[in-house]
Each structure stands twice: as structure tokens, then as C-alpha cells.
Amino acid sequence: MTPKQRQILKKTAAYVKKAMSGEGTGHDWWHVARVSANASLIAKGEPMADPFVVQAAALLHDIKDWKFAGGDEEAGPREAARLLKRLGCPGPGIIRITQIMREVTYKGAGVKTKPGSLEGKIVQDADRLDALGAIGIARCFAYGGMRGREIYNPEEKPVMHASFAQYKKSKGHSINHFYEKLLLLKSRMNTPTGRRLASARDRFMRRYLDQFYAEWDAKS
């Protein structure tokens, strides 16, 4: 990585931290910092990946996310492109980074979302790891509470959304989100490191659900 690229990443991180600090749904600066760290770890096992593109996309992947931009899927890529251009990132790099931002997002159980680049696969795995395990559980309920969703409603079954449009309109309770997304992620990891790390986190979530249902049914 060149000194110029390192400087761009440093300024990008500062911008994202200022923009996203204090957010309460689990899509805050600390989420971005964890995704960045996950991406670095995964990239160590993928020597052909461009480290600058990986880190820039990891830092920017949730800026102006559609969930907080009125459903506008292009709000994030537009914001990232403006920032990167201002920081002196070459045009081809901006195109690669913003394309990863479009591809990383989970779009529903029935929607294929495998990124077209190795860098995109790394960032997608890094982001999805943070939706798993103990942190993933915490983020699930934090986001559900912000959206006014019930914790659990046994009368409402999971929906395997067939399109991104359907997924974006979902208002199901938080436990359903485990089945509609979180428990599907392990099998959708792109890299060996991502799959290894996802397995342990997936097992933890399944143990959590066993305990949740036992308490719900007054058996524990």
C-alpha cells in the first residue's frame, strides 16, 4: 500500500467515525471498526486481494446505508464517491469501492448476493461476521427495538424473502430475523477464514436460541 493510500484510509476512517459515532442500532462506528478488523484478518489468507480496496470498502460499507436513507440504495455509494474523490482517490479505485458497497448488502434469503470481486467477498464476509455470535445477537435486538419490532411472536413465522424489495419492507419480530438472515450466513461465506470464524459464532447463536425458547416456555 502506498503512503497516499494510507493517508486516504486515515482520513476516511476519521470521516466515518465522526459521521457514525453514537448511533444506537448497532450500525455505528464500532461496527465499522470491527468490520475493518475482520477484513484485515480475512485478507491475510487472500494474498491476491488489494488491501487498499478492502480497507476502503470496509470503512465505507455502511455510510448512508439504505436503512437510514429512506430506502435509497445509492445514497451510500454517492457519499463514498464524493469523499474519495475529494481525498484524491483515482477514479478506477472509486468505482471498485462503490461497487463493493452495492454488493455487500444482504438482500433477502432468496436473493443471490455473491460479490464479483475477491475484495468484495472479503468485505462481505467481514460484515456478515459482525451479524453473528454474541455481537450479532446484541445488534439484532438493538435494531429491532429501534424499528419498534417485537422481540418474539410465536404466531408470526419467518418469511424467506424472494426479493430485496420484500426484504426492505419486512417488519417481523427480532427472533424471526435469525431465521430470515443470521442463521443463513454461515453457509454463504465466501472465504475459508470467513467460514471458519462464522462456524463458531453460528453455534453460539443456536445455543442462545435453545435457551431463549426454554425460558419462553418456562422450562428453564
In this predicted structure, what is the pLDDT of residue 69? 65
Write phi, then psi, for 187 (nearest 5 degrees): -75, -5
Please tell me the predicted confidence (pLDDT) of residue 24: 82
Residue 157's pLDDT is 94
Residue 68: the pLDDT is: 74
Residues of the chain with pLDDT under 70: 69, 220
* C-alpha grid cell, residue 214: 426454554
pLDDT at residue number 220? 63
Whole-prediction pTM value? 0.93
Q: What is the pLDDT, as a whole number, of residue 214?
A: 95
Given this model, what pLDDT does residue 64 score? 83
Q: Closest Cα partner for 156 from 139, 137, 179?
A: 179
Q: What is the pLDDT of residue 67?
A: 78
Question: Can you tell me the distance from the alpha carbon of 6 to that of 137, in angstroms, rounded to the nearest whole number?
Answer: 33
Q: What angle do CA 166, 167, 173 make, to 5 degrees?
A: 115
Task: State the Rg of the chain over Cα.
Answer: 18
Element spanning 83, H or E: helix 75-86
How many angstroms separate the CA atoms of 154 and 176, rounded? Answer: 9
pLDDT digits (tens, 9 = 90+) for 15-67: 999 998 888 888 899 999 999 999 999 999 999 999 999 999 999 998 988 77
Domains and their CATH numbers in the chain:
3-216 (1.10.3210.50)
